[in-house]
């Protein structure tokens, strides 16, 4: 049956975003040909939220310690938005080199 998910990030500068995933996040990867890198992601979960307007999708990375992760990635030049405290977790975000935005959060909910 279903054995995984393939996430596509559309970018104004795909090469810079690939370098970010490879060099800053350190994700393992393979070259699918002609420099098209495919990255192994950490384990994932999915949730369905109601939408007021047109439905959209969002990618948020998770971590065990948001403060430590911000410090580690900050040392590599990543700038973060202010941290938001929510009942379900602590949330921030950052911009990829290609212009896309990505969330980062430390969940406070049970993990599936």
Series of mean pLDDT values for 10-residue runs along the chain (112 residues): 88 95 97 93 91 91 96 97 95 96 92 79
- The DSSP line for 59-96 is -EEE-S-HHHHHHHHHTTT--BPPPEEETTEEEEEEE-
Q: How far is CA 37 from the centre of its chain?
A: 16
Top CATH class, 14-107: alpha beta
Domain boundaries, the chain: 14-107
């Amino acid at each position: 049956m279903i054995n995984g998910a393939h996430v596509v990030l559309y970018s104004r500068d795909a090469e810079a975003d690939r370098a970010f995933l490879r060099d800053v996040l350190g994700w393992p990867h393979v070259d699918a040909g002609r420099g098209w890198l495919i990255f192994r992601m950490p384990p994932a979960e999915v949730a369905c939220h109601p939408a007021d307007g047109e439905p959209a999708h969002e990618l948020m990375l998770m971590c065990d310690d948001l403060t430590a992760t911000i410090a580690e990635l900050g040392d590599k030049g990543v700038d973060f938005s202010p941290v938001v405290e929510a009942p379900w977790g602590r949330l921030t975000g950052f911009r990829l080199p290609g212009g896309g935005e990505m969330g980062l959060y430390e969940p406070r909910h049970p993990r599936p």
